[in-house]
Chains A and B, each alone.
Chain A
């Protein structure tokens, strides 16, 4: 197994860690979690629910912002600044570079999510002075957020292999929103009486990654049990889509003439 993706991933992680923008986002996300404590305190009887809900939403939204905005620039920046020239002159295959960049950003997002989750845990403990057994669902919800972010990163990377950062951002966010409502797209197809429309709607809904599957924030905040089967199903689902996006990205990027 080639060590190149790992080496590129560590460098990508180092780049992200040394970027001040990242810290601004993390601080902002932690402030959001902190603010949820205040909101929780004025929500009599449901303070834990409010804190978990707002906290997980903040982690998800800020993670998404980082995944999209850093993800679309991962390859573009290397091309634009021509740092890629020296790298490709080394024994590095283009797909190894892409996998490394992806791995580096996912590592960064995972570490960020971990720190934001610590912030959420601290806020929760501050309010209730205890952790409940049902809080284990928060960990599962955070794991699903990481899977979602990995998928968004792969999509951002895929689009950035053939379009500008601006367009890649639009495409990625577009797919995210459409993927969140992919179930509704299928429903729209069902209410029409046209078999062609139904087939098209079904095809689109299956093609789009279903991001709603990863959202268990409501269940986690209510302390409802999340079925174990959903963990491996979501893991396999994310792995499949990530693999498809990265294979597509590698195929496009491997044949691309750099500037």
Chain B
């Protein structure tokens, strides 16, 4: 079996909080995870779940309290590992006195590319992220979306095999989000491994082979989006219209909600036919009947709600 692209073992990160009476806050709690080569892995979780902390540890921006991680078999402490990865931080910020071309040239130099290759790559990657026309504009004049794009360009400039993206869709308009999704699809087609954190569950469902849900620093579930949520139908959704002046059937009088000129109702699967019969009796026009299954969003919110009921993790100094 080949080496996983990313191996995380028992990664834990504690931060001191408070001034006088310092305690440790556990931001990441024994995270163990593997991402296979060529996989698109979505790292989901609410704000403060530990997603960015995980990425910062993997990039050696901060150091773990305990645990270890390897990327393509190399320890994260090994600087040569950084030749094989690309990283887009959350809300990236760059040297605003540089132009996009100069910024990418600076980073490309760190990988030892010759001048002619740097020139070619810079043009190619700026065009790939839709900034071909802004190569010589100073970054101080860039919008948030443009900075996000230049951030993606610098993350993939050296053709890394593993790419870490922290909230790559944040700050982008729908067109920009679509373009980033297309870039991620292209990178996947090229066989790269992509590990990205996001709040946007629809993006995760669309892009990811597997997702991991992190809540309160703990990994609560990992799997393909269709695997981790139960595919069992929990209700049936009925959309219908009633003739003017006709009252709603008794069984739906309380539960149906009006949207525009239509009604929407959710009923248990075993009561679908009796309800449809009642609707027919009052001459309602049935517009659609759809089975409802839990979504990734439902699964996500269930985990978040469960975590909210748990007390915050504060550890006395020295108790570690």
Contact = CB atoms under 8 A, between A and B. Distances in A.
Interface in A75-91: 81-91
A7 B89 contact: no
B68 interface: no
A221 to B, nearest CB: 38
A4 B107 CA distance: 10
Contacts of B95: 11, 15, 83
Contacts of B151: 86
Contacts of B309: none
A99 to B, nearest CB: 14
Chain B interface residue count: which class? 20 to 34
Contacts of B82: 89-92
Contacts of B61: 84-85, 88-89, 257-258
Given A3-B112, A7-B106, A85-B89, A258 B62 contact: yes
Contacts of B12: none
A227 interface: no
A81 B94 CA distance: 8
A18 B138 CA distance: 12
A92 B97 contact: no
B105 to A, nearest CB: 10
Contacts of B107: 86, 90
A89 B63 contact: no
Chain A interface residue count: which class? 20 to 34
A91 B110 contact: yes
Contact of B79 (A7, A18, A86, A91): A91
A89 B111 CA distance: 12
Given A86-B154, A92-B79, A258-B61, A81 B93 contact: yes
Interface in A88-142: 88-93
Given A7-B110, A93-B79, A88 B59 contact: yes
A86 B91 CA distance: 11
B98 A88 contact: no
Interface string A1-43: 0011001000100110011000000000000000000000000
Which of B85, B102, B110 gathers most chain A CB within 10 Å? B110
Contacts of A19: 97
Interface string B117-142: 00000000000000000000000000
A23 B103 CA distance: 23
B91 to A, nearest CB: 8
Nearest to B60: A88
A15 B94 CA distance: 12
Which of A11, A83, A93 gathers most chain B CB within 10 Å? A11
Nearest to B84: A91
B101 to A, nearest CB: 13
A84 B98 CA distance: 15
A255 interface: yes
B62 A86 contact: no
A69 B86 CA distance: 33
Contacts of B106: 7, 11
Contact of B97 (A15, A87, A88, A257): A15
A83 B93 contact: yes
A14 B80 CA distance: 27
A86 B92 contact: yes
Nearest to B94: A83
A208 B89 CA distance: 41
B83 interface: yes
B87 interface: yes
Nearest to A80: B93
B109 interface: yes
A62 B253 CA distance: 82
Contacts of A87: 110
A86 B87 contact: yes
A238 to B, nearest CB: 29
B273 to A, nearest CB: 58
Nearest to A89: B87
A91 B109 CA distance: 11
Nearest to A15: B97
A108 to B, nearest CB: 13
22 contacts: A7-B110, A11-B95, A11-B98, A19-B97, A82-B89, A82-B92, A82-B93, A83-B94, A85-B92, A86-B87, A86-B92, A87-B110, A88-B61, A89-B59, A89-B86, A89-B87, A91-B80, A91-B111, A92-B79, A92-B82, A257-B61, A258-B61
Given A7-B106, A11-B98, A91-B82, 13 more contacts: A3-B112, A4-B110, A83-B93, A84-B61, A85-B56, A85-B59, A85-B87, A86-B94, A89-B59, A90-B82, A90-B107, A91-B110, A91-B111
Closest 6 CB pairs of A and B: A89-B87, A257-B62, A85-B89, A18-B97, A91-B82, A90-B110
